[in-house]
Structure 1
């Protein structure tokens, strides 16, 4: 068989090769496939097709593995498929789309969903073929049409996962991996030898090899130089492959009771022994690189491989035995364990109990799995506390059973003491496991002599309470004299109060708070306003001369001073407790009495008296010769002599006594005809109202008018319309500075 190579110049793909079975494609069974980019050209016998296949759960119709050519109008080339419980390969003679246009080979088989199986179709001649599943031959017959057995091809391109044209296009549901196309008839042994390991692409007579390891993009690479590559169609996606494929593989000749044995590159001898009978075929495959995922285990430094087991009978039980080579045989007894996982795409390994004593045996395993030699996790030590604080020093003892002890400060003994803050560590070898163990912590050493004192002698000036906050960075707890543990306290009385702070490591300090609540004397200056008399100065003095310190706004520091300019001034005084206070006062220019009137004519109500007084800053001499207050009991003309300390004057004014009572009367009729006479209705009075409310109602009780303004009276209208002649009701509520009252009655509206 030969390739007719068209438009392809390719060699090994430029993509990374994941360990083990790497990646694969997951076909959705609906519309996804791989379109091959060039024709297989002329095909001839013998030939072999192989692939790993995991059946999906979305298969609709025929499973199409491979179609070499376009079959529109007539069957051509090869169609590798699964239909009606049979694996078959169909050959086309190019004559028609009827059964006379094809022939092929069929074998009965039933796939199990989500289980990998290896399929090989070997065609030795137009009439001789053999189908293998998992390395074992199936009963294969000539059939699938009755056409002339003459293979015809053209230059059309093929597909993986779907057929090309025709009247029944269907798609594969599931995953394919490691697809090969050979220009020779592989023997049974050759099929068994190659099924569980990757090929190089340079094998003789290998015409196409799709490893499915690209992992990204839409290209499927062919590892055979010059062979057609493929393009992923309709969102066909890459996934991690779980196929049982390694770099090298060994099998038991598909003979029950015979073991499969192989060597790792480091000399470990691995034996897999089937336990029970059933379908023959036990394969050991080895991946000669570490796994990409080591979750759940800690690998042994010299173990750079892992291995897997595949049984043709999926549920067959088997034993695994590993005789350690020179590089792994030096591990302490029991230090190494076998870990396992279901397949190459599994995210996590599980450590088993099987350990090196000195070799490793893991009996009764099922089903197919992958294995790796890992190490028993080193003991977890916690010799030192978590990041910690100690008072003065910290002592650490790691106990016995360790060698090669090394501390961060150079010590090599089992116990050690630290006196300086910083990060400290210790490293030692566990004599039981051989593990080198370490522990680290950040330690803070607190020295009581370095904690600042907080004794407080405090005078509280003018306030009735004092809030004390004794919190300090690094302190862990607080204690007051009365058992209170809050750092913030409010005090209202004089006294001495002790408190204690505790720090990590047990260090503590005790201090005392001494409080005195000082009384502040208000208004050190007796007067708020002082007057300049002409060009003179004004003397200002404090109420007391007992203040230890005084500061006036003019810079003077004695208990009295002088000012000669007007304006706002201030004085600050400090009392015996050290409390400062500020008082302000204003210097005003005294105006000549002749320029201003102090008293004016006034009046008061009969039955009362009037008390006259001079304003602040003035002295008044009354007709009775007195200079204090002056009481007036009746109408009188008064002469008063005034003095402001600078000038003097005489004023005359009258005091009138009158009756403060007033009457409220209403007319019994009014004529709102616009003649200027009796046009408005309201109270007739000389009262000065402080409240006023007049309401007018018609004889049915409907309100026609309301006024709260004594200047707004009833004009005989309602909603700007003249009211008819008739009798109306008034209600009046009022108050004056001297009394309050009500009035109501009737009146006639006339026109």
Structure 2
């Protein structure tokens, strides 16, 4: 029985064991450990939705877990690209990452498999059952592809052009099988972490973690594969058929396609957990001989990060997450700071140096420290000793780490999150704020805005703490219709309704209703936007003679 997937049932069993423990204290040690194990499994069952950084991933048990997409990919044509982050458990038999068109009688569609010692991708023509004649496979050897996150990609163009990448590096390989075209089964179902492979091995499920599965109807280049590795995908990207980031919580059986078109269904109790894959909102990288150069990213007015890989590094990625970390245990996030960085070295044995600089006006002496953690799923951050001055330099860093500014400096927000006003918005900063710098380069203490927009302010507060604050400016428009000119015989009742505030008629009345007996021009002012509106009233006597 898979203990992690049966959390509720096992919890009941745990209480029964606790009862036995009270009766038979001689078994204290064994029962105590068993109950602790049960509780840990139960609480891990409740992972909530999370889209910050790499967010969540799914752990598949190799028994009955998968994500079924249904018969939705039976119109695929070459070229195609399929990619994913995978964390397989050790095994030399195949681990199916993705298959597009499983059927019970023949090879169909495309698929991507991994194992501890290889990666393979294929397409099939549905002719000849499950023999080699109905498929075309490329196999690339790889050492120790397990117990860690690896980015795997297959670019399938034709029978003699299938490229396989691990961590953005193309692998040499060999072909087998004689299929020459891709044929889909009209009723074949697409799956993540599952592939139906014929009578000799009909049920094959993935064993380990999967994250960020993406399918494209174009042949991505090597640089495009690397571009996709360490950043979240956008639904609007050209050529993207579908992508599944697994950021839903365990409570959801629906696994959403980021484009909202090809949602899947969780089957077998596949467990959602925090992902430790290296993924941010934006990234940059260097490979080969270029990896000896500095790799740089920055957030304007706040910080700049430079990564220097040790000589001989195969490749290195630097990414930024544009949201505060979900888990902030072990660090104190400064007010207004909404980002952190991560570094991923392609080779786990190759090191790098991180140089993290705070920029003016955010930098304050003896205030901020640099905190790090191994990855998105780490339970706590650890702070390096010493303050920014204004930089922190640390060498001999490991394969994958994330970095964030930490500080206990009291730097409360200066601005409310929203300024709304009519025609224009006036913002006046208090005299206690110094070193003022807006994201458009303005340094004024008092500003007038005439257009909607998001504005970022950095400066130093009365405590000497650097801060960053964001405000959205909204210029309001009137939401009422102009009053038409009126022509009546006797009198007219004007009713402005209940939507307007601060009504001010030309006679000083604030009542939304007004009875007018005399011809003339009348006006009122009202919120929103204190717009002045004039209208005319014409007196027309009744013709009593018809």
Please confirm whether the aligned pair reaches a TM-score higher than 0.5, indicating the same fold.
yes
Kindly indicate whether residue 308 of structure 2 is the aligned counterpart of residue 273 of structure 1. Answer: yes
Kindly indicate whether residue 57 of structure 2 is the aligned counterpart of residue 24 of structure 1. Answer: yes
Query: 101, 118, 123: which one pairs with 2:134?
Result: 101
Maintained 8 Å contact 1:220/1:232: yes
Query: 71, 79, 83: which one pairs with 1:50?
Result: 83
Kindly indicate whether residue 376 of structure 2 is the aligned counterpart of residue 324 of structure 1. Answer: no
Show CA shifts across 1:327-369 (max 9, x none): 422x1x2321110111101111110025311222222211311
**Residue 355 of structure 1 corresponds to which residue in structure 2?**
387
CA distance in 1, matches of 2:341, 2:316: 13
**Residue 219 of structure 1 corresponds to which residue in structure 2?**
254
Q: Structure 1's 369 and 83: CA in aligned 2 closer, same or farther, altered over 3 A?
A: closer
**Residue 96 of structure 2 corresponds to which residue in structure 1?**
64
Show CA shifts across 1:198-217 (max 9, x none): 01111011001001101231
**Residue 147 of structure 1 corresponds to which residue in structure 2?**
179
Query: 289, 294, 302: which one pairs with 1:259?
Result: 294
Deviation at 1:106, TM superposition (A): 1.7
Query: 343, 353, 361: which one pairs with 1:309?
Result: 343
Maintained 8 Å contact 2:108/2:182: no
**Residue 506 of structure 1 corresponds to which residue in structure 2?**
none
* Secondary structure of the corresponding residue to residue 361 of structure 1: strand
**Residue 120 of structure 1 corresponds to which residue in structure 2?**
153
Tell me the TM-score normalized by structure 2.
0.63
Q: Structure 1's 205 and 432: CA in aligned 2 closer, same or farther, altered over 3 A?
A: closer
Q: Which consecutive aligned stretches of 4+ in structure 1 deviate over 4 angstroms post-superposition? A: 431-435
CA distance in 2, matches of 1:327, 1:124: 51
CA distance in 1, matches of 2:86, 2:219: 21
**Residue 138 of structure 1 corresponds to which residue in structure 2?**
171
Maintained 8 Å contact 2:117/2:145: no
Maintained 8 Å contact 1:42/1:153: no
Maintained 8 Å contact 1:54/1:117: yes
Deviation at 1:19, TM superposition (A): 1.2
Show CA shifts across 1:282-332 (max 9, x none): 101101111111111112224221111001112321111122233422x1x
Q: Structure 1's 327 and 199: CA in aligned 2 closer, same or farther, altered over 3 A?
A: farther
Maintained 8 Å contact 1:335/1:355: yes
Q: Structure 1's 265 and 144: CA in aligned 2 closer, same or farther, altered over 3 A?
A: farther
Gaps of 5+ in 2: 1-47, 411-461, 467-546
Deviation at 1:252, TM superposition (A): 1.9
**Residue 35 of structure 1 corresponds to which residue in structure 2?**
68
Maintained 8 Å contact 1:317/1:367: yes
* Secondary structure of the corresponding residue to residue 194 of structure 2: coil
Maintained 8 Å contact 1:308/1:370: yes
* Secondary structure of the corresponding residue to residue 252 of structure 1: strand
Matched pairs, number: 363
Maintained 8 Å contact 2:71/2:101: no
Let me know the Cα RMSD of the aligned residues. 2.4
**1:358-397 residue pairs with structure 2 within 5 A?**
358-375=390-407
Maintained 8 Å contact 1:69/1:164: no
Structure number, greater radius of gyration: 1
CA distance in 2, matches of 1:195, 1:162: 23
CA distance in 2, matches of 1:84, 1:145: 22
CA distance in 2, matches of 1:93, 1:209: 25
Deviation at 1:273, TM superposition (A): 0.9
Maintained 8 Å contact 1:314/1:367: yes
Tell me the TM-score normalized by structure 1.
0.46
**Residue 243 of structure 2 corresponds to which residue in structure 1?**
209
